[in-house]
Structure formats: structure tokens, C-alpha cells
Amino acid sequence: MTEFKVYIKKINWIDKEALEAEVLFEINGQNLWAFCHPCQFIENQEEKVFFDFIEHEIPETEFWNNNENNIKKMAPMEDNKWSYFCYGQIEQINPVKVNCGSITLSFGNWINDKSIINSYVYFVISRLDIFK
């Protein structure tokens, strides 16, 4: 997994005893929200973190064909703080890593075709997770 440096801006506790929270953080000039469990972050601190995510299933044709403008960004959904429309570029395989601008996400090992490197893709994150 890739380690990132972020600035923790705000923590909204969902269940403080269970250490479940939603965390607002800044990375590369972008503010993003993520789910965290166990949350051991402190507001107004720089932290080294890792990301994981739950992918919302979309048709494979959308993954390969819905980023015609070659964009790298994570666009938040209006109705869910932790969900994002992701536009990115595949940087490597084994594991597949997709650069979405602010964050490069790991997609696991599911393809061996080197010709997809540098392809632009689209996917949807149902829940972005942040952890130490």
C-alpha cells in the first residue's frame, strides 16, 4: 500500500466509544471526507495515512470508456460524504494502481495486460476509508 501525507482538518464522531468517525482531510490541496475505524487521528495534525475503498459496481464498459477527457480527479457525490466519482489513469499493473489526481489508489491484481498502462478510466467509490 502507498503511504500519503495528509492534514486532518475535522473529525465527526459516529461512535466515539467504538472509534468510528468520518474524517475531513486535505491532500494535495483537495479536501476529502473518508470513513475511519479505528479513528486515532487528532484534528489539525499532519498524519501519514493509507487509503482503502469499497467500489460501487459499474459496467466494465463504463470503467474503460467514461473518461474520454483524460481527467485525473475525485469528484465527491453530493448525497454521501465518503463517495466519489473517480477519474484516473492507470500507472501500473500487479497491482493495478490508478492515479486520481490527489490520490493514487490500488485496485489489486486482476489484469496482466501491460497495454492498459496509461489508460484513462472511470469508477465509483461507495466508501473511501482512511487509516494509519
Asked if 55 and 126 touch (Cβ cutoff 8 Å), the reply is: yes
State pLDDT tens for residues 42-58: 999 999 999 999 999 99
Concatenated DSSP letters for 110-123?
----GGGTT-EEEE
Confidence category of residue 108, pLDDT binned at 50, 70, 90: confident
> What pLDDT is stored for residue 112 in this prediction?
85
State pLDDT tens for residues 78-101: 989 999 999 999 999 989 999 999
CA distances from 24 to 41, 71, 118 (A): 11, 23, 30
Cell numbers found for residue 93? 499493473
Round to whole Å and give the CA distance between 90 and 66. 14
Round to whole Å and give the CA distance between 40 and 57. 30
> Could you say which DSSP state residue 93 is in?
T
Q: Is the pTM value of this prediction over 0.85?
A: yes
Q: Kindly report the CA angle at 81 between 76 and 87, in degrees rounded to 5?
A: 25
Cell 498524519, residue? Answer: 47
Residue ranges per structural domain of the chain: 4-131
